Structures are given as structure tokens and as C-alpha cells.
Amino acid sequence: MAQTTTSTARQNAVTAITGWQSIGPRVNFRDTPIGDVFGINVFSDSVMRERLSDKVYKAIRATIRKGEPLNPDVADEVAKAMKDWAIEKGATHFTHWFLPMTGLSAEKHDSFLTPGENGEALIEFSGKELIRGEPDASSFPSGGIRATFEARGYTAWDPTSPAFILENPNGTTLCIPTAFCSWTGEALDKKTPLLRSMDAVSKQALRVLKLFGSDATRVAPSCGPEQEYFLIDRNFYFSRPDLLNAGRTLFGSKPPKGQEMEDHYFGAIPERVLACMLETELELYKLGVPVKTRHNEVAPSQYEFAPYFENANVSTDHNMLVMETLKRVSTRYGLQLLLHEKPFAGVNGSGKHLNWSLADDHGNNMLKPGDTPHENAQFLVFLVAVIRAVYKYAELLRVSIATAANDHRLGANEAPPAIISVFLGEMLTDIVEQIEAGAAKSTKKGGTMTIGADVLPPLPRDPGDRNRTSPFAFTGNKFEFRAVGSSQSIGGPNVVLNTIVAESLDYIATELEKTGKSGEALNPEIQKLLQAIIKECKPVLFNGDGYSEDWHKEAAKRGLPNRKTTIDSVPDLIAKKSIELFTKYGVFTERELHSRYEILLENYKKTINIEANLTLQIAQRQILPAALRYQAQVAQSIANVKAAGIAAPKAEESLLKELNDTISTLYNACTKLGHVIDHPADGDAFAHAKYSHATIIPAMNAVREPADKLETLVADDLWPLPTYQEMLFIK
Ligand code: ADP
Ligand code: MG
């Protein structure tokens, strides 16, 4: 009788992949050039100009560009124009699209159709429906802000992020970006605090700019998030309950070949993956998302997309669309998107580099050094403001990226450490040192370099090399926050960055305003102030190797916080310092901070619990049975050798012993894990999360270790789970 084991699933997966046929061109940029598709599904500026009266268009523009409050009177006209436009695009429904605290986007669709008095169909969409929605909010996490019986939550139209059409083969839906808050007006989402933090940083930046004689009326953070991700064949995905339910592998021994040859990074993109990227790009172009670069990343089967930068609010929404579109489109190619920060142990994880700067409404970048930054006082003020912000509030940046998943990455010699420091590079470090010493007098130049082949032109050299190990690096004309997790919304990290920089700009503006000076006379005051700030904040500056042991020691000596895990980091969110900062700038109320603290801990606990249950299930129902089958085969083989009487079955016996020992270890570890899952900690949310961290995670690791060892012992044809080698290299 043929033995059916789950490894049949593995075999089928490999067969499906080798038999995968190109599905033919689904996208044709020759007939529809990218310029023609870009933004066709966006209720964009040009659509508004065409379809709205002059008065209403101007009112909307003022809101978008200057953050002016919107007069509700204009909403009816906008709603009508939006509805007509959407219906021309085949829309039947509209939805208020929002970013609840679950980490995904949420939508509830409403039809444009209303039955009339005589049974006829009316197509309606009023200003009221545009401005406010009321989804049943009881199932979204609120962290105690709202009891479940008070289900009321409101979505409020965000006119500063354009509405768009989501296509489905059978129809389209008008999506209206909205903020989501409780009946009492407290934020239940990621957008509300983001918009508040953008107002805060704009207000303080304008005070500084005014001292330099600028007539700007709005300053907005600009963001370009580089998105890393894995794509693996879906057949493997469905044979791995851990990937399916937890987004990461909970088992798997290291493949014989990992990423050590570094032959994947920037390599040729496999045909199927490139086809998937092209279709994803087409879909994103239609939504007005300016994806710009794509390439292979360091790990096998890992890739990256980066967009052209946009203002923080639009960029946050667009990054959600990048993740969602990629997920949707990849299935059409038999691929599964893995956005988890660490899908495979021992292989690089995925992050999201958040490039961040500030720009005024004339389009000037506040962090652009120019050719002679030592003379560019305004640039130096903004630069030093960011340095001071990171120094003073490093813990808050850390907590903005704290998740159970990101804990696997940070400090694991592939991602920046959990110590938040600032990399400036050689040129700016030199200038900062000059300011500290008394005056900035010169700028180091990079000069040119020749490559040694006459046919190649000499290249201008950047004044400093890159540093991949720094969590917060100055890269030319922006900072790059590199510790953000790949699956995270950039909303949270942005809220912190905007608010802490607002606080620094506020401090600087206040000090400079006190002097009563302006113009040239202000320069010596600026020098004095920046000198004092640099003296105080320079411990945060570090250009060296952030992965090294030495840096950990040195950082401790400098007094920089090192919150190694989420559990170490989360209490900072509700510390006095955090409450004072966020309430001062109207970004979070104390209650809102507490709610976010609860949600973070709750998420952490739930994540670990799901993983622990999966670990147990896979170990007991897939791995142990496979190991026992193999053990029986080896025992049978010993009996056979003995019966034949050729020689003593020594090798077989030691294999049997090793198998038996490992199986016992696995069995005992499972028993222990089952026990700790069944006896959760008493106490509050923090106690629960801490228990998950201190007790459940080690018990899970104790199961994984013998299980991974068994993978190296048990006959391959009996092994139930697709291996790392298969998932990462068969594509
Ligand atoms: P790298 O980090 O390898 O230099 P790229 O230059 O490809 O990567 O990407 C950098 C990212 O930074 C892009 O998404 C780009 O749009 C973004 N970026 C560039 N200038 C700014 C800016 N002023 N503000 C915010 N993001 C920016
Ligand atoms: Mg980068």
C-alpha cells in the first residue's frame, strides 16, 4: 500500500512550480504608455479643477496645501462631482477607507443606490455621506477608549489624501480616505495623530522659517518608504500552517546554501517575479502611486519597491496601497507575498526604510545642504533640530517600531540595532564639529574619482560613504529611519518624528525669538545656540559600525537608551516625558496614549499566543509523527540486519538512539509549552505581554530546536514541511 504522508504536498508543490507556465502578457505598456495610465483612478487635482466650480476648487486647494479647515458647504458639490466621476468609472459603491489600529486598512462598502418612493432607483451621494461615515466600530481595537457596547465610531473625510477607485474584475468601488475616531472624538486610527503631528511640525517650522525671512505658509514632512518583501510560490505557502497563520516560519533548519554568496542582491529579477512587479506597478500607477525603483534584495527571494517621495499623509496611504496591491496581484502569478519582518530564521528579514524630510509650500527641502552647507544657516538649524529631537526622544522612536515581529530583526546583525543613533557622514560631521568648536568655516568636498579605464568618465564622488548599520542616517538631503518594520504602517514612526522635531524647532524658535534679532545680526546667535545644542546632544552621533559589540558598550557609556525588545520599550509610551510631549503639541491625549499602549501589548500577547499554539500543533501533528515513522523504519532496519546476521547494526543503533533522544526532547518541550500556554499570567496587559516574552517564547524556542534537528535526521521523503531550501530557491 502506498504510504500517503503530508510530504506528498511538498512533492506536489515542486511539481506545480516546475510545471508553471507563463500566463501570457497581462500588461502592455506599448499600447498604454505609463504616462496615460498614471492617476487615471484618482480623484486628482486636475479632475477637481475640471469638475468643480472655481470657488469650491479654491476652497479644497487651500485645505490641501495650507491645511485650512474645510467649509462643510463645499462638501455637497464635491460629493456630487466625486459620485459622477466614480460612476463613469463603473463604480457601484463607495467606502470610507481608513487605517484602524489593526495594522491593515479597513473598508465598509455602501451602494450609491437608494430606493425612491415609487420603487425607482435613485443614485445618491450627499456631502454628509462624504464627510462622515459611521461604521460599527465595536470590533476594532480601541485600547479601552470605548466599551464594546458603545459601538459608535466615526470616519471623517480627509480631503488632503485623494479619493481613488479600486478595481475588481466585476466592478469598481470609490474609496475615500478617512480618519477614524470615537464618539468622544478620540483617535482610533493611524491617520488622526499623523495629521495632528503634521500640523504641529508645520507650525513650529514656520516660526523658524520666518526668522530667515521666508513667506512660506505651510511646511510638510515628505516621505519615501522603501518597501522590502519576500515572494514565494503559493504551493509552499499552503503547505506551511505557520506561514499561513503567523506569516513566518516557526520551524526550518538552515539551508545548505543561504545568502552567503551574496548572489541575489541586485541580481536579474526572475521572469515570473518581474511580470508580477510590472502588473503591480501598472495597478499602482492607476492609483497615482509613484513607484520608482525595484530590485532584488539581499536574501534569496527578497525584493524591494521604492516610490518617489510625497507628503507624509499621502505617502502613508500610498504605502498601504503598495502592500495591498502587491498582495493581490502576486496571487495571480501563483506567488505569495510575505511582509513579515522575519519570515525565515537565519536569513535577512525585511524592513522599510523611511526616508523623511521637511518641505515648504514653495517646494524647498529644509534638509538640502546645498554646495556650501557651512554657510547655509537655515539648513544647519533644521539639521541640528533633528539631531536634538533624536537625542532627546530616542525611546519614542524606538517604541514607534516595537512589535513582536520586528524584535526578530533589530540588533540581529542584518538590521540596525535597537540603539537609536544618528549617522551624519564625514562632511556634515566635520561641519558639526566646526560649529561645536566655535564657527563653521568650510565644507569638505568629495572631489572626483577616476575608475582607471579611459573610456569611463570621471565620477563626482559623494563627500562621504554610506553606512548601512545606522538606524537613522543622513542620506544627502533627507534622513532615513531604517529600523521600521516591513509590515508596519509608516504612520506611527512619522507621528513620532514629526512631533519630536516640532518640539526641537519650537525650542530653537523660542530661543532665537528671545534675542529680538533678525537678518545678519541673527547669525552669531544661531552659532551660539547650535553650539550649545551640539555639545549637549552629540552622544547620539555615531558614524561607526552599529552592529559591533564595541558600539553596544560605547552607547551604554554615552547613556543612550538600548531597549532590546518590545517589552523593554513599550513603557516609554506612557512615561511622563511622552505624555508631556504629545499633549503639548496636541498629537495625543493622555487617554489616547494609554489606549495605544494597551493595543501594543495586546497585539504582542496575541501574536505570541498564536505562534505558540501553531508551534505546538505543527510539532505534535506533523513533525513528531514523521519522526516516529522514520524511527520505526530504522528500528525495522536494525531487526533486518540482525536477522541476516551479517554484522552488528552499530550505525543503525546509534542513529536510532539519536532519533529517540531528539524525539524525547521534542516531546518534553511540547509538554512544557502546552503547560505554559494553559497557565497564562495574572495581572494587567503588561504582565501578560511580559509573560509571553519571558516564558512562552523560550518554551517555543525549546520546541523548535529539536524539531529543526529532526529535519536534518529524518528521511526527506517523510518530512512534512517544505524546507527553507525549497521555499527560498525553487521559483
Ligand atoms: P537609497 O536609500 O538606496 O539611496 P533611493 O535613493 O532609491 O535609495 O531611495 C531613496 C528614497 O528616498 C526614495 O523613495 C526617494 O523618493 C526618497 N526621497 C528622496 N528625497 C526625499 C525627500 N526630500 N524627502 C523624503 N524622501 C525622499
Ligand atoms: Mg535606502
Q: What is the mean pLDDT of residues 545-556?
A: 90
**Which of 43-52, 293-302, 568-577 has the least mean pLDDT?**
293-302
Return the pLDDT at 109: 87
Q: Count Cβ atoms below 10 Å from residue 501 Cβ, excluding itself.
A: 27
Residues 6+ apart with CB under 8 A from 54: none
**How many A from CA of 350 to the centre of ligand 2?**
12
Ligand 1 atom showing the smallest separation from residue 226 Cα:
14
- Cβ contact 660:667 at 8 Å: no
Band (pLDDT 50/70/90 cuts) for residue 623 is very high
Q: What pairing do the DSSP bridges indicate for beta strands 302-307 and 164-168?
A: unpaired
> What is the b/e burial string over 502-536, where b = at least 16 CB atoms within 10 angstroms of the residue's CB?
bbbbbbbbeebeeeeeeeeebeebbbebbbebbee
Separation of 351 CA from ligand 1 center, angstroms? Answer: 15
Cell digits for 24?
A: 501570457
**What is the per-residue pLDDT for 293?**
87
Ligand nearest to C-alpha 368: 1
- CA 154 to ligand 2 centroid distance, Å: 37
**Count of C-beta atoms within a 10 Å radius of residue 134:** 13
Residue whose grid cell is 524647498 = 364
**Mean pLDDT of the region 164-179:** 93
Tell me which amino acid residue 418 is: A
Q: Which ligand places an atom closest to the C-alpha of 416?
A: 2
* Distance separating alpha carbons of residues 485 and 415, to the nearest angstrom: 10
* Per-residue confidence band for 211, with pLDDT thresholds at 50, 70 and 90: very high
pLDDT confidence of residue 121? 83
Do 288 and 164 touch, CB atoms closer than 8 A? yes
Q: CB under 8 Å to 655, separation ≥6 — which residues?
A: 634, 713
Alpha helix ranges (H) inside 413-545: 425-437, 491-515, 523-537
Identify which ligand lies nearest to the alpha carbon of 319.
1
The reported pLDDT for the residue numbered 319 is 97
Query: What's the whole-number mean pLDDT along residues 170-185?
Result: 89
**What is the pTM for the complete model shown?**
0.94
Strand partners, 172: 91, 167
pLDDT tens digit sequence for 217-275: 999 999 999 999 999 999 999 999 999 999 999 999 988 777 766 666 667 788 889 99
Q: Is the pLDDT of residue 339 over 90?
A: yes
Relative to the alpha carbon of 470, which ligand is closest? 2
Ligand 1 atom closest to Cα of residue 368: 23
Question: pLDDT category, 65, cuts 50, 70, 90?
Answer: confident
pLDDT, residue 18, reads 78
| Per-residue pLDDT tens over the stretch 90-109 | 999 999 998 988 778 888 88
Residues with C-beta less than 6 Å from any ligand 1 atom: 222-224, 226, 293, 306-309, 353, 355-357, 365, 475, 477-478, 480
Q: What is the predicted pLDDT for the residue at 20?
A: 73
For ligand 1, what atom is nearest to the CA of residue 225? 14
- As given in the structure block, the three cell numbers for residue 159 are 480631503
Report the pLDDT value the prediction gives residue 124, as an integer from 0 to 100.
86
- In one-letter notation, the amino acid at residue 300 is P
> Residue 308 and residue 303: Cα distance in Å, rounded?
17
State the cell numbers at 345: 530564521
CA 117 – CA 42 distance, rounded (Å): 34
In 361-447, beta strands by DSSP E: 422-423
With 0-12 CB in 10 A as exposed, 13-18 as middle and 19+ as buried, what is 550? exposed
Nearest ligand atom owner, CA of 360: 1
User: Any idea what the Cα angle at residue 17 is, between residues 16 and 20, rounded to 5°?
Assistant: 85
Per-residue confidence (pLDDT) for residue 479, from 0 to 100: 97
Signed CA dihedral, 342, 593, 158, 66: sign only: negative
Q: How many CB atoms lie within 10 A of CB 627?
A: 26
Which of ligand 1's atoms lies nearest the C-alpha of 224?
Answer: 14
From 289, 297, 310, 355, give the residue whose CB has the most ligand 1 atoms within 8 Å, as the site to mutate.
355
Higher pLDDT, 563 or 118: 563
Is 479:367 a contact under the CB 8 Å cutoff? yes
Burial class (CB in 10 A: 0-12, 13-18, 19+), 227: buried
Ligand 1 center–CA 417 separation, angstroms: 22
pLDDT, one tens digit per residue, over 417-442 is: 889 999 999 889 999 999 999 888 88
For ligand 1, atom 14, name the residue with the nearest CA: 224
Q: Are 173 and 91 in contact (CB under 8 A)?
A: yes
In this predicted structure, what is the pLDDT of residue 30?
A: 85
Ligand nearest to the CA of 369: 1
Q: Is 204 left (phi over 0), alpha (psi -120 to 50) or beta?
A: alpha
Distance 613 CA to ligand 2 centre (A): 36
pLDDT above 70 as % of the chain: 93
| Residues near 274 by beta carbon (within 8 Å), at least 6 away in sequence | none
Please name the residues in contact with 269: beta carbons below 8 A apart, sequence gap of 6 or more: 277, 294, 295, 296, 303
Mean pLDDT of 196-216: 96
Report which protein residue has its CA nearest ligand 1's atom 13: 224
Q: Ligand 1 pocket check: which of 298, 356, 478 to mutate, most ligand atoms within 8 Å of Cβ?
A: 478
Give the tens place of pLDDT for each residue, 669-694: 999 999 999 988 889 999 999 999 99
What is the distance in A from the centroid of ligand 2 to the CA of 135? 38
- Per the CB < 8 A criterion, the answer to whether 354 and 481 are in contact is yes
User: Atom 19, ligand 1: which residue's CA is nearest?
Assistant: 309
Strand-pair partners of 305: 227, 294
CA 473–ligand 2 middle distance (angstroms): 9
Report the pLDDT value the prediction gives residue 151, as an integer from 0 to 100.
62
What pLDDT score was predicted for residue 452?
A: 55
Distance 530 CA to ligand 2 centre (A): 28
Q: Which of 116-130, 525-539, 597-611 has the lowest mean pLDDT?
A: 116-130
Ligand found nearest the CA of 228: 2
What's the gap in Å between 355 CA and the centre of ligand 1? 6
CA distances 118 to 112, 126, 138, 396, Å, are 17, 21, 36, 59
Question: What residues sit around ligand 2, an ion, with C-beta below 5 angstroms?
Answer: 353
| 359 CA: nearest ligand 1 atom | 23
CA dihedral sign of residues 19, 20, 23, 29:
negative
Given a cut of 50, whether residue 365 has pLDDT beyond it is: yes
Q: How confident is the model at residue 690, as a pLDDT? A: 97
SS3 96: strand
pLDDT the model gives residue 131? 85
User: 461: pLDDT confidence band, cut at 50, 70 and 90?
Assistant: low
pLDDT tens readout for residues 269-281:
888 899 999 999 9
Q: How many helices (H) and strands (E) does the chain have?
A: 26, 19
Transcribe 588-612 into DSSP letters.
--HHHHHHHHHHHHHHHHHHHHHHH
Q: Is the pLDDT reported for residue 149 higher than 70?
A: no
Q: Is the CB of residue 191 less than 8 Å from the CB of residue 177?
A: yes
CB 347 within 8 Å of CB 493: no
Phi first, then psi, for residue 348 (nearest 5°) are: -50, 140
Report which ligand 1 atom has the smallest distance to the Cα of 357: 24
Rounded CA-CA distance 618/87 in Å is 49
Round to whole Å and give the CA distance between 352 and 480: 10
User: What is the CA(224)–ligand 1 centre distance, in A?
Assistant: 5
User: Which comes out higher in pLDDT, residue 294 or 20?
Assistant: 294
For residue 441, how many other CB atoms are within 10 A of its CB? 11
pLDDT in the model for residue 467: 72
Report CA(199)–ligand 2 centroid distance (Å).
27
Task: Point out the ligand 1 atom lying closest to the alpha carbon of residue 353.
Answer: 2
From the CA of 474, how far away is ligand 2's center (Å)?
10
Going from the Cα of 297 to the center of ligand 1, the distance in angstroms, rounded, reads: 16
Ligand 1 nearest atom to the CA of residue 477, by list position:
23
Q: Which residue has the cell 574619482?
A: 449
What is the Cα–Cα distance from 496 to 399, expressed in whole angstroms?
9
pLDDT tens track for 474-503: 999 999 999 999 999 999 999 999 999 999
Mean pLDDT to the nearest integer, 504-526:
93
Rg of the chain (C-alpha set): 28
Question: Would you state the pLDDT for residue 184?
Answer: 78
Work out which ligand 1 atom sits closest to the CA atom of 355: 26
CA distance 596 to 100: 11
Predicted local confidence at residue 1, as pLDDT: 39
